[in-house]
Structure 1
Amino acid sequence: MSDPAGPVWIGDEPPQMPPLSSAGGLRLVLRGAAMVAVLLLGLGLLLALRLIERPLHGAARPWTPAITTAVCRMCLALMGIRYRVQGRPMRHIGAVVANHSSWLDIFALNACQQVYFVSKAEVARWPFIGWLAQATGTVFIRRDPREAKAQQALFEGRLRAGHHLLFFPEGTSTDGRRLLPFKTTLFQAFYTHGLDKVMQIQPVSVVYHAPAGEDPRYYGWWRDMGFGPHLVKVLAAPRQGAIEVVFHDPLDVAAFPSRKELAAACERQVRAGLDQALARAEPSR
């Protein structure tokens, strides 16, 4: 879900993946099989319901996002990851921005609200994950200046249909312990055809708390870390940590004269939420 044009964040050397024990292998199989079953069942229900929803409501999706939310909640429960939410998702027309630390962000951010991710176009071609992304209404974009106007029109159409689009302005994922400067490019889409007069943006901080005794960066997914090994580590873990999602007050786009000021305001809120949540957790570690 990172920015197709953004460089991969290097950061420090990731922690070594632990060897897979026999008990860990059993947890991997049980959790993995249960999650695949839930994902396939949810996908089937979503596609079937969409056959009715689409002729009646067109681009609007009043029913199917509830399936995505339920599936993501069940997957987090199956993984054994504790999950808590502060604040409330907005109901106003607009978009959502969040920090990006892991593939787990998809589950964490879908489990508490109805949103549609903005993703790099390559994801649409990934086996299984690409199918899930397309079925759930992900917006795929390319960082090609020649497609800027078409993508801007796509954003506007989805927003005016009532979709809350979610994107990661850092442009890449990190170790979950820091926030990178927000890129401002996508914010420009909210200053066209009067959108800035009617919409809001809600900043969200996603905070990962590692299992007791593990590296604080346990859930971070960055540098050259492969998806498969990281998935195995999480599913095979004997103990799990927690994910905290913090919803901040929505910002009126019209209150900011340009995309740079808007991006900076969103970055300040996300950073404050991340820093405060990590600071609260430190004494108990």
Structure 2
Amino acid sequence: MSASVVSIVGRNLVSDQSWQSEDAPDPIELGVIGWGLVILRGLPLALLVTSGLILLLTVRLVERPIYGPRRPITPFISQFVCRNAFRILGVGFRTSGDLMQERGAVVANHSSWLDIFALNARKRVFFVSKAEVAKWPGIGWLARATGTVFIERDRKKAREQTKVFEERLTAGHKLLFFPEGTSTDGLRILPFKTTLFAAFFSDELRNFMYVQPVSVVFHAPKGQPDRFYGWWGDMEFGPHLLKTLGACRQGSVELIYHTPAKVSDFDSRKALAAHCEAVVRHAHTLARLEK
């Protein structure tokens, strides 16, 4: 998955509005050592991502006519690239909890474009993005190549959207979306929007569908603000990437996988969304306190 796809899709999952902080973003000061680290980390990271994308597209040429919507091989390439991206960056990576085995979706809080790498590194997932992204030159093509599921926020197409979800879920895909609808500074959990949860209550999906909440927790490098890895509002991708690459000390990211929730155990999308939000929020708060 290319960095440009990560940045664009990461900012455009479900919502058009970005969360804004009352405080301005922290200034970026790299210095000579920082710029040296940008080169030392940036070049191998670019090589990893580019070669991974080329390999994925090549394999997909064979995989698609044989397996159709199923992708038994290419997700392993994305997972390999994302896991090793953290090794190159020097960012610590740890997880807890069991991965969901049932068919269904994964929901997580959203702090940064780094979430895309983190969630792909542990689990083979396919992200959900608004349909407009698919039409963007270059970006849309790359997003489609990596298996992104595009949705249209139009009630008239609700049945069609449910059909898309059903096909992907039946093919064994784990769909992932960020119910907050925007990224934040990583210090908070915003209310979960219920829109996408509605599709899971259709007659076709409700009885077999599970949703696994995941808490994504970033721990800042020692001596840096707690929101060091947060990416929100009008912050540009380029400067944030440079800041991450040029950090003399790196922090870590922690993924906490919670017990999957069976959709049929809930009366409504609001109840399911509230449950997932509460679980993610509780674990996120505890993890930040225990850092």
Match of 1:23 in 2: 33
Match of 1:194 in 2: 204
Q: What's the CA shift string for 1:78-123, capped at 9, x where partnerless?
A: 1110000001211110000000000000000000001000012344
Structure 1 residue 3 displacement after superposition = 4.1
Q: TM-score, normalised by structure 2?
A: 0.92
Match of 1:142 in 2: 152
Q: Give 5+ residue unaligned stretches, structure 1.
A: none
Does the alignment pair 1:213 with 2:223?
Answer: yes
Q: CA 1:151–1:49 in 2, change beyond 3 Å: closer, same or farther?
A: same
What secondary structure is seen at the aligned counterpart in 2 of 1:16?
coil
Match of 1:160 in 2: 170
Q: Does the 8 Å contact 1:15/1:215 carry over to 2?
A: no
Q: 2: CA distance between counterparts of 1:136 and 1:155?
A: 16
Q: 2: CA distance between counterparts of 1:114 and 1:98?
A: 14
Q: 1: CA distance between counterparts of 2:237 and 2:152?
A: 22
Q: 2: CA distance between counterparts of 1:3 and 1:54?
A: 25
Match of 1:271 in 2: 281
Q: Does the 8 Å contact 2:184/2:230 carry over to 1?
A: yes
Instruction: Give the 5 Å matches for 1:44-55.
Output: 44-55=54-65
Q: What's the CA shift string for 1:158-186, capped at 9, x where partnerless?
A: 11111100000001111101101100010
What secondary structure is seen at the aligned counterpart in 2 of 1:196?
coil
Structure 1 residue 6 displacement after superposition = 4.4
Instruction: Give the 5 Å matches for 1:218-229.
Output: 218-229=228-239
Q: 2: CA distance between counterparts of 1:21 and 1:112?
A: 33
Q: 2: CA distance between counterparts of 1:228 and 1:173?
A: 16
Structure 1 residue 230 displacement after superposition = 0.7
Q: How many residues align?
A: 281
**Which of the numbers 39, 43, 48 marks the counterpart of 2:53?**
43
Q: 2: CA distance between counterparts of 1:164 and 1:145?
A: 23
Q: 1: CA distance between counterparts of 2:218 and 2:235?
A: 17
Q: 2: CA distance between counterparts of 1:262 and 1:4?
A: 18
Q: What letter matches 1:32 in structure 2?
A: G
Q: What's the CA shift string for 1:8-67, capped at 9, x where partnerless?
A: 111232432222312211211221111111111111111121122112211011111011
Instruction: Give the 5 Å matches for 1:5-24.
Output: 5-24=15-34
**Which of the numbers 73, 78, 82 marks the counterpart of 2:83?**
73
Structure 1 residue 4 displacement after superposition = 4.6
Q: Does the 8 Å contact 1:156/1:189 carry over to 2?
A: no
Match of 1:90 in 2: 100
**Which of the numbers 93, 112, 130 marks the counterpart of 2:122?**
112
Q: TM-score, normalised by structure 1?
A: 0.94
Q: CA 1:271–1:191 in 2, change beyond 3 Å: closer, same or farther?
A: same
Q: Does the 8 Å contact 1:81/1:240 carry over to 2?
A: yes
Q: Does the 8 Å contact 1:5/1:143 carry over to 2?
A: no
Q: What letter matches 1:212 in structure 2?
A: K
Q: 2: CA distance between counterparts of 1:159 and 1:250?
A: 15
Q: Does the 8 Å contact 1:206/1:246 carry over to 2?
A: yes
Q: Which moved more, 1:18-27 or 1:195-204?
A: 18-27
Q: Does the 8 Å contact 1:17/1:233 carry over to 2?
A: no
Q: Give 5+ residue unaligned stretches, structure 2.
A: 1-9
Q: Does the 8 Å contact 2:97/2:258 carry over to 1?
A: yes
**Which of the numbers 63, 69, 73 marks the counterpart of 1:59?**
69
Match of 1:230 in 2: 240
Q: What letter matches 2:211 in structure 1?
A: I
Q: Does the 8 Å contact 2:30/2:247 carry over to 1?
A: no
